[in-house]
Amino acid sequence: MSVESALQQRSNNCCELCSSTENLQVHAVATEGKNNPDECILVCAKCLNQIEKKEFLDTNHWQCLTSSMWSEHPAVKVVAWRMLNRCRTESWASDALDMLYMEDDVLAWAKQSGDHEQAANEGFHLDSNGNILHDGDNIALVKSLDVKGSTVNAKLGTVVHNIKLVRNNTEQIEGRIEGQLIVILTKYVRKV
């Protein structure tokens, strides 16, 4: 039986976090667990996009965790704990975290990613207009920039294709201008 089939059977074809039945996908909670149903969960597109930080966190949506956090499946508990921590400024999430009991090994698994340390909408690369940037996006400069260590001057409006996010700094992206790979501050770009 495939991982997806096992998860569909386990969850009765519903998102294991919010119970939605639309656009369900497998999410590997453990990086090595893509072939193990015990290390994956079945989630809807809305939950997945917010787990993977592809859209802003909708704390109202995550109130569903007050039910799903009691799941008997460790992978569901791990994701519920991580998302409750990201929503911890909300009183309901803080209360739920106080009630949630997890065995030591499951709690260690939940803490492994470090994702729980960030607040709700922290950790996003945002352009000058507040839009979320992703790897592969195209951006335009909103200010002329001198490229350090080079004679290149990137003019206002220059389009940079296929950017890469700097993983450890949400204020920086990488892109090529006139063939040179440079680091650009996100406050000087807008998504196109």
Cα end-to-end span (Å), the chain: 43
Helix (H) or strand (E) holding 9, with range, is helix 3-11
Phi-psi region of 116 (alpha: psi -120 to 50; beta: other; left: phi over 0): alpha
Whether 56 and 13 map to the same domain: the answer is yes
133 is a domain residue: no
C-alpha dihedral over 50, 52, 56, 61, to 10 degrees?
Answer: 10
Residues 87 and 172 in one domain: no
Domain identity same for 32 and 88: yes
φ, ψ (nearest 5 deg) of residue 67:
-100, -50
Within a domain: 125: no
CATH number at residue 165: 2.30.30.40
97 lies in the same domain as 167: no
pTM: 0.68
Residue 32 falls in which region: left (phi positive, over 0), alpha (psi -120 to 50) or beta:
alpha
Q: Tally Cβ neighbours within 10 Å of residue 129.
A: 9
Residue 88 included in any domain: yes
Collapsing DSSP to helix, strand or coil, 130 comes out as coil
* Residue 64 shares a structural domain with residue 112: yes
What domain count does the chain have? 2
pLDDT in tens, the chain (192 residues): 789 999 999 999 999 999 999 999 999 998 675 788 899 999 999 999 999 888 888 999 999 999 999 999 999 999 999 999 989 889 999 999 999 999 999 999 988 876 656 555 567 888 998 888 888 999 999 999 888 877 788 899 999 999 999 888 889 999 998 888 899 999 999 999
